[in-house]
């Protein structure tokens, strides 16, 4: 049996893997633990606050996050489910898969998440403000949605060239394979 390799990079828009709806993780094994650790490394190296499976080409329901930058706040959420979304606030969001693009997105101010850790143990957390925003952003990734799907017409015009540049870079990269 071949050993699965761990991802080496964060994929960029318009890679079609970013648009795939993910499937739940059912086996909590050493690979899932190693994958979670690798995701945390890539998230920190990219100076991000969250990273979802699709962003590294893994179509599974897993994401990592850290809203403070402190190592003790690293969090891995497997098969997350959001509930109890309360309030609404609009704020600017960026994305490691869409570098140099910032979009104002309206999200719930507070929410609850139920998920599993890397050993398969269930847990529930409540978050607000930045933490709740991260969870919602990463769950969007797990469902194949990106912040550009939430852009206003004005944002689309403002970022038209940047999106075209990302599309051209992707085309160059895929031609080399």
Count Cβ neighbours within 10 Å for each residue of 118-132 and write b for 16 or more, e otherwise.
beeeeeeeebeeebb
Structure tokens at 111: 């929410």
Residue 68 DSSP one-character state: S
Which of 37, 126, 128, 138 is an active site residue? 138
User: Residues near 21 by Cβ (< 8 Å), separated by ≥ 6?
Assistant: 59, 142, 143, 144
User: What's the CA gap between 91 and 104, in Å, rounded?
Assistant: 5
Question: For this structure, is 138 an active site residue?
Answer: yes
Which ranges in the chain belong to alpha helices (H)? 30-45, 130-142, 153-158, 160-176
Catalytic residues: 138
């Amino acid at each position: 049996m071949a050993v699965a390799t761990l991802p080496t990079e964060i994929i960029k828009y318009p890679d079609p893997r970013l648009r795939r709806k993910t499937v739940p993780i059912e086996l909590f094994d050493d690979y899932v633990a190693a994958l979670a650790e690798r995701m945390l490394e890539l998230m920190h190296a990219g100076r991000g606050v969250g990273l979802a499976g699709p962003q590294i080409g893994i179509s599974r329901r897993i994401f990592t996050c850290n809203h403070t930058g402190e190592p003790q706040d690293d969090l891995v959420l497997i098969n997350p489910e959001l509930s109890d979304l309360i309030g609404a606030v609009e704020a600017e969001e960026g994305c490691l898969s869409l570098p140099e693009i910032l979009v104002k997105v309206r999200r719930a101010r507070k929410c609850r998440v139920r998920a599993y850790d890397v050993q398969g143990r269930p847990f529930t957390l409540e978050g607000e403000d930045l933490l709740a925003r991260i969870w919602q952003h990463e769950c969007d990734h797990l469902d194949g949605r990106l912040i550009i799907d939430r852009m206003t017409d004005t944002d689309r015009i403002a970022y038209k060239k940047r999106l075209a540049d990302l599309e051209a870079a992707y085309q160059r990269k895929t031609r080399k394979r």
